[in-house]
Chains A and B, each alone.
Chain A
Amino acid sequence: MAGPISVERVWAELGEIVDPEIPVVSLVELGVIREVDVREDRVRVALRPTFAGCPALHVMRAQIGERLRALGAAEVEVEIVLDPPWSTDDIAPEARPKLAAFGLAPAPSPVIVLEEILTAPRACPRCGSVDTVLRNDFGPTPCRMIHYCRACLQPFEAMKPV
């Protein structure tokens, strides 16, 4: 299987790998793939962490290596890059409805003044009501926070705007 691989083929493959903790969006849609560089059968992928402490980063790294080697890459280097810092604005527009359908309210975009964004109501991903309140800046993963919907009387998760 070994042989030259096209950059497009690598991007397409990365578009098939889903976030281990949000399995409805791909790494490409999540905006964590910064760069792809192909030299013959050697591939270098620049991967940006959403949050520095995100435990899923290691899983993403391993999966990228595995999938690209299966594609025929002799060598896969996944480099962790921090510049520019990942932002929820980097999530692809087409991924936003998928997040909401998964029960995870997408972050308002663009993130300019954090305090304004956090005090504005977020729509409940279940019933669409904006009669909601921010309950906790922190949630079940580093990239999520917890809101409460007064219409459904249920908490819901939302992407933490950064």
Chain B
Amino acid sequence: MRLELRSLLADALLGLADDEMILAHRDSEWTGHAPILEEDIAFANIALDEMGHAGIWYRLVAELRGEDPDSYPDRLVFHRAPDEFRCIRMVELPKGDWAFTIVRQFLFDSAEVVRLQALQQSHHAPLAKAAAKIAVEERYHDRHLHAWVRRLGLGTEESHRRMQTALDQLWPDTVQLFEPPSHESELTAAGLFPAAEPMAAEWAEGAAATLADADLKIQRGTPGMNGGREKHTDHLELLLAEMQSVARLEPQASW
């Protein structure tokens, strides 16, 4: 693979890695606080899964950049400044109430299912194999989130109202779920990374159907904040300050 393409692919994968890592952190904030014990267990696991998936993507980034796959991921996670992260803004937002958490996880994971399917066709074999591995695990997230969207959307007046409020708040940011990576045409022409537009269309159709089944309405119109993955909410800085605090106390420590 040409050096320039390696670098572009690494940048695209860094975005996916950061999404998973930051969302994993938000999910982990429910540990000990979820509304019922079963969900405490479920979200601790979902957080762990997403962190594991982030780890896979970070290792691929390391290999593409010629870095050590064992130590580079920690450097990326614990020693970058907020403006060097490439996550989408949706995953940065505070965990909110349970409905917000469910809607965000549903929107994110349902997009992931579509993306992982397409990534399995990548000509970069390690990427295709990683996507196949992650897709197997994501089936359990998919089942879980579909059940919760229905349960709360069709539940009580209050649960429905909270779900609708969360969806109204999150929907504008879904525009980032399938934003094309930088120099997309070169990546797609080389068969390395799937084109965003067809994935976005497939996801939107599936997500709309699930939401409609749960009696939830998509309020179209208001577009999200402008700017790509370089632009963040203020929440990211606070999240990283907490997440990185221990590692930064002693950068040379071995864990």
Contact = CB atoms under 8 A, between A and B. Distances in A.
Contact of B133 (A52, A54, A138): A52
A5 interface: no
11 contacts: A51-B49, A52-B133, A54-B52, A82-B132, A82-B133, A85-B133, A85-B136, A114-B139, A136-B38, A142-B52, A162-B137
Closest 5 CB pairs of A and B: A53-B52, A52-B52, A53-B48, A138-B45, A83-B129
Contact of B137 (A51, A135, A146): A51
B61 to A, nearest CB: 15
Q: In terms of DSSP, what is the predominant structure of the interface of chain A? A: loop
A49 interface: yes
A40 interface: no
B49 A142 contact: yes
Given A83-B129, A160-B140, 15 more contacts: A51-B49, A51-B52, A52-B52, A53-B48, A53-B49, A53-B50, A53-B53, A54-B52, A82-B56, A83-B133, A87-B136, A136-B42, A138-B44, A142-B45, A142-B52
Nearest to B43: A138
A82 B53 CA distance: 12
Interface residues of B, number: 26
A49 B52 contact: yes
Contacts of B51: 53
Contacts of A139: 41, 45
A110 to B, nearest CB: 14
A114 B136 CA distance: 10
A140 B40 CA distance: 10
Contacts of B53: 52-53
A55 B132 contact: no
Contacts of B16: none
Interface residues of A, number: 23
A142 B48 contact: yes
Contacts of B45: 138-139, 142
B77 interface: no
B52 A85 contact: no
Given A135-B38, A136-B38, A53 B55 contact: yes
A37 interface: no
Which of B41, B51, B133 has the most chain A CB within a 10 Å cutoff? Answer: B133
A137 interface: yes
Interface in A107-162: 114, 135-140, 142, 146, 160, 162
Nearest to B141: A137
B154 interface: no
Contacts of B49: 51-53, 142
B119 interface: no
B219 to A, nearest CB: 31
Interface in A43-95: 49, 51-55, 80, 82-85, 87
Interface in B17-59: 38, 41-42, 44-46, 48-53, 55-56, 59
Nearest to B132: A85
B41 A82 contact: no
Contacts of B132: 82-85
Contacts of A55: 48
A115 to B, nearest CB: 8
B247 interface: no
B114 interface: no
Interface string B48-87: 1111110110010000000000000000000000000000
Nearest to A57: B52
B220 interface: no
B129 A82 contact: yes
A160 B141 CA distance: 13
Contacts of B56: 52, 82
B70 to A, nearest CB: 9
A85 to B, nearest CB: 4
